Amino acid sequence: MIKNTESVFEVDTLKILTDKDIALHKAESGFLNAEAFGETYERVSLTRLVPFMNEEKYISVTYKTEDNEWKEIGVIEDIRKLSEEKQKIVREYLSFKYYIPVITKINKITDNRMGYLFLEAETTAGPKKIAVNDWWHNFRMIQNKMLSVTDADGNRYCVPEVEQLDKASVKKLQLFI
């Protein structure tokens, strides 16, 4: 009976990956390869499990099986616990996958009362004029702290901590959040 259970249900447990458990390197193809528990995985994917709570903690490392299914190799508990080189690789990968420029200053917000909100803002990707449609859904606060913005094309922007913005920007924002 026990044997049967094992063959049918392989109970999935949380595997925390320490620095020793995993080796990561960027392949020529541009993707990330990994070695863990004696296996080599090509084109692994890193996913932030709690992106709104902590960008550096709980990073799931997955790979695609031959059946096109994503399987988890394990979870990196904290990027900072990895070696310098791995930290660099992981951060570079995540900043690419989660390409979300940070809004650093808000110059102007206008609501055209046709469902669109226009933001003229300074971002880490340069000055932007961001058009947000259906802004009730696409311009919202998360956990009363972080502002998440998705523009009409699907690009994402964020303000990690609204209260950290300059006073003038916060004042402009407050009417819309």
Partner 1 sequence: MNLKLSLPKGVDEQSVVFSLPFDIDRSAKRTDGHLTATKEKLSVYYNGELCEQFLLEDIMEIEVEQLIGCSMLCVKDALGKQKFVCAFSQKHFMRFAELAKIIEHYLKTGIFTETTDADEPACPKCGISLNGSKKCVYCEGDKGVFVKLIKRLAPYKKQFFFSLFATFMLYAFDVINPIFQRILVDDLIVPNNADWALFFKVAACILVMNLSSVGFRLLQENSNYKISTAYGRDLRRDIFNKTQDLSMSNVAKRTAGELINRVSGDAATLQDFMTRQGKDMIFQTVALVALVIIMFVTNWKLALIVVIPLPFAAYLSIKSFNAISIRYSRVWRCQCRASELLHDVLHGVRVVKNYGGEEREIEAYRKASGKWADAVKRADILWYMVQPPIRYVFTIGEFCALFFGGSMILGGQMQLGELIQFTTYVYMLYGPIQWLTSLPRVLAQAKVSAGKVFEVLEEQNDIRDNESAKDIEIEGDIDFQNVFFGYKAYNPVLKDISFSIKKGEMIGIVGHSGVGKSTLINLIMRLYDPTAGVIKIDGMDIKDISQNSLRSQVGVVLQETFLFSGTVLENIRYAKPDASFEEIITAAKIANCHSFITRMPDGYNTIVGERGYSISGGERQRIAIARAILHDPKILILDEATASLDTETEKQIQDALDRLIAGRTTIAIAHRLSTLANADRLIVLDKGKVAEIGTHTELLKNKGVYYNLVMAQRQTAKLKK
Site for partner 1 in 58-77 (CB under 8 A): 67-68
Residue 5 as a binder of partner 1 (CB under 8 A): the answer is yes
Determine if 153 is a binding residue for partner 1 (CB under 8 A): yes
Which residue is associated with the tokens 């009417």?
175
- What the block records as the tokens of 18 is 């320490």
Name the one range near partner 1 by CB under 8 A: 17-25, 55-63, 74-82, 95-103: 95-103
Run of H or E residues at 88: helix 84-97
79: CB partners within 8 A, 6+ apart: 56, 57, 59, 87, 90, 91
Size of interface with partner 1, in residues (CB under 8 A): 39
Indicate which single residue of 38, 80, 84, 114 sits in contact with partner 1 (rule: CB under 8 A).
114
To partner 1, the closest distance from the beta carbon of 102 in angstroms equals 11
From the list 173, 88, 168, 171, the residue with the least C-alpha distance to 157 is 173
CA atoms of 141 and 40, how far apart (whole Å):
40
Name the site residues for partner 1 (rule: CB under 8 A).
4-5, 7-9, 29-31, 42-43, 67-68, 92, 95-101, 111-116, 125-126, 131, 133, 136, 151-156, 175-176
